[in-house]
Amino acid sequence: MAGRISDEDIAIVRERSPIADVVGEHIQLRNAGGGNLKGLCPFHDEKSPSFNVTPARGYYYCFGCAEGGDVITFVRKIENLTFTEAVERLAQRGGIQLRYEQGGYVPGREQGERTRLIEAHRAAAEFYAERLATPDAAPGRRFLSERGFERVDAERFGVGHAPAEWEALSRHLMGRGFTAQELIRGGLAREGRRGPIDRFRGRLVWPIRDITGDVIGFGARKLLESDDGPKYLNTPESPIYHKSSVLYGVDLAKREIAKRSQAVIVEGYTDVMACHLAGVPTAVATCGTSFGEEHIKVLRRLLLDQAEFRGEVIFTFDGDSAGQKAALRAFQDEQKFVTQTFVAVQPDGLDPCDLRVKQGDAAVRDLVASREPLFAFAIRSVLSRYDLNTNEGRLGALDAVAPVVAAIKDPGLRKTYVVDLDRWLGFMDEGFVIRRIQQVIGKDRGPGQARAPRQEAVDPAVRLEVEVLKLAVQRPALLGPEFDALGAETFTLPEHVGLYAIIMAVGGTAMGGSGGREWVDRLLEQAGSASATGEQGADLRSMTTRFAVEALRADTAVEERYASAMLAKLHETAVGRALTQVKSRLQRLNPVEEQQEYKRLFGELVALEQQHRVLRERAAGA
């Protein structure tokens, strides 16, 4: 085997992989002040952004789920890779040639599974694209032409053709050094009697890319009457392809989605192509599955979907009954978005691709522009099932639509729809409609569901310790010897005592200089050593990463004064606790029988009170 990647190359990979750029390929980041960036965490579901990135120190930390680390850690977790695979992934991204100890550089031999499968899919996409120009691909070119796509359009989206042969792709890839097992494992081939056989044959093929632009699978459309397979055939689940979280076109649309705060959900590959070519570059589509929760998580991170209702997600569906059902399924997921959701339905049943062919690019843009709020569409769809000319029908419709109205998160928007619903049903009594909705919803709501538990306030003393330790991790030069002289007893929480011990073990803040990545790396390395000795090293590593990323509660211009004040307040608090303990001990002593001890403690009390007064004045004046 090739051996491990050299430490020098790992350091180069970290240096040449800006964490903001790598994280920004997966989520939208916005300025959070203090040199930090913020976005929605990709590792847990959240409504408001708590995922922070600090480019200057090269670390990230989520204050919601406590995930944190450097750029390699992020790639490992987001793509479910080993450490070696993550380094190889970043090296490939940065054009870095890695060296392996005990064997040197051997192209291809030492790469992880994901890297190998990605390279196999890249080679397969090139193979298919080249075959689109062959005589056998004439039906595929005709299919594209009939739908308004030219050769340059096919090249832009990487559309290709799978030859109607059993082993054309397999032979090609195995000739490039890929194994039969890799082709089968990646879903490019199936096991045949005499070796692997191609999964896609005689079909038009679309490469499916992940959010970073790597080909991870294919969607293939039947062209030949002799093909007894399904109309569309997709790559099966594999180590790199998970259809529940894949969105076709997301690699092309992600920047426009973030820029416009808009995502348009269409139903097929040609619809994505048509929208992008028509001037709707925010279009994406699911791949062989219905739109679901994992797709929502991807879009929310790109939209930075939070509480301001500033973005929009637009579903496009056919105007027939199947399209309406699809739209109502989408409504069930609406509550998982914070942003506004809409439906764009073409009354004549044309999908965006057909609409572009028959009426031109402007018609596609008009379809998206004519969107209707998803709530309105859902309400109207429910009402259409009832006879609103009878009292029984109107009351039944009101009861049926009550959960839809109650699900509207924004109180003002919910009130507006109550007014609309009252008008649509013809009751002309908003109060009656509100009461009826409350009655219907009240039957389904269990006790305690209406109110979320209130968070307890953070102990001010603990918050003070946190701020000083953040300064020690981020700006050690501002604390220096005074911090180092505090002593572990200054801190109250065991994990804070542990971090103080780690700082002291690497020489204290006096050795931290101006901070930065090297200082944080030393602390994390020491925390790892603590883990090896049986202490809570993993928790200390997580906390160190958090403190390296969490913004200080002061502007850069006043950091020096802020550090002095925080240090004085922390010292003052510790001295205050010591004062309380001395007073308590004095009260328990008999000044006559234990005169010597009493005098000693009284002298200690006087000294502590003087020190406490000086520290309080310094903290107030800093």
Q: How far, in whole angstroms, is CA 158 from its chain's centroid?
A: 27
**pLDDT score recorded for residue 101:** 73
**pLDDT score recorded for residue 225:** 85
Across the chain, mean pLDDT equals 86
Strand partners, 9: none
Rounded Cα–Cα distance for residues 222 and 228 (Å): 9
**pLDDT score recorded for residue 463:** 87
Task: Compute the average pLDDT of residues 349-375.
Answer: 92
**pLDDT score recorded for residue 13:** 94
Highest-pLDDT range among 277-281, 332-336, 339-343, 489-493: 277-281
Q: Is the pLDDT of residue 334 over 80?
A: no
Q: Is the pLDDT of residue 305 over 80?
A: no
CA distances from 544 to 196, 429, 467, 509 (A): 50, 59, 12, 14
Q: Is the pTM of this model over 0.85?
A: no
Mapping DSSP to helix (H, G, I), strand (E, B) and coil, where does residue 417 land? helix
Q: Is the pLDDT of residue 309 over 70?
A: no
Mapping DSSP to helix (H, G, I), strand (E, B) and coil, where does residue 39 land? strand
**Mind listing the pLDDT tens digit for each residue in 509-530?**
988 888 888 999 999 999 887 5
**pLDDT score recorded for residue 333:** 61
Which tokens go with 270? Answer: 């040609």
Residue bearing the bigger pLDDT, 409 or 521: 521
When pLDDT is cut at 50, 70 and 90, the band that residue 324 belongs to is: low
Q: Is the pLDDT of residue 455 over 50?
A: no
Residues with Cβ within 8 Å of 616's Cβ and at least 6 positions away in sequence, in order, are: 568, 572
**pLDDT score recorded for residue 179:** 96
**Mind listing the pLDDT tens digit for each residue in 11-26?**
999 999 999 999 999 9
Helix pair angle (595-621, 559-588), 10° resolution: 160
Task: Compute the average pLDDT of residues 450-479.
Answer: 74
Q: What angle do CA 233, 239, 245 make, to 5 degrees?
A: 65
Residue bearing the bigger pLDDT, 364 or 46: 364
**pLDDT score recorded for residue 458:** 53
**Mind listing the pLDDT tens digit for each residue in 419-443?**
889 888 988 888 898 888 888 766 5
Check if the beta carbon of residue 205 is closer than 8 Å to that of residue 218: yes
**Mind listing the pLDDT tens digit for each residue in 127-143?**
999 999 999 999 999 99
Q: Is the pLDDT of residue 79 over 60?
A: yes
Q: How far, in whole angstroms, is CA 430 from its chain's centroid?
A: 41
**pLDDT score recorded for residue 3:** 63
CA distances from 603 to 247, 251, 583, 609 (A): 73, 72, 11, 10
**pLDDT score recorded for residue 451:** 37
**pLDDT score recorded for residue 389:** 86
Q: Is the pLDDT of residue 261 over 60?
A: yes
**pLDDT score recorded for residue 336:** 62
Task: Compute the average pLDDT of residues 174-197.
Answer: 95
Task: Compute the average pLDDT of residues 50-61.
Answer: 94
Highest-pLDDT range among 97-101, 532-536, 562-566, 614-618: 562-566
**pLDDT score recorded for residue 4:** 81
**Mind listing the pLDDT tens digit for each residue in 234-258?**
999 999 999 999 999 999 999 999 8
**pLDDT score recorded for residue 162:** 97
Q: Is the pLDDT of residue 478 over 80?
A: yes
Residue bearing the bigger pLDDT, 584 or 498: 498
| Lowest-pLDDT choice from 107-111, 188-192, 270-274, 336-340 | 107-111
Q: Are strands 232-234 and 215-222 parallel, antiparallel or unpaired?
A: antiparallel
Rounded Cα–Cα distance for residues 244 and 231 (Å): 20
Task: Compute the average pLDDT of residues 539-553.
Answer: 89
- What percentage of the chain has pLDDT greater than the value 70? 88
**pLDDT score recorded for residue 285:** 95
Task: Compute the average pLDDT of residues 489-493.
Answer: 88
Q: Is the pLDDT of residue 456 over 50?
A: no
- Secondary structure (H, E, C), 219-262: EEEECCCCCCCCCEEECCCCCCCCHHHCEECHHHHHHHHHHHCE
Rounded Cα–Cα distance for residues 344 and 431 (Å): 32
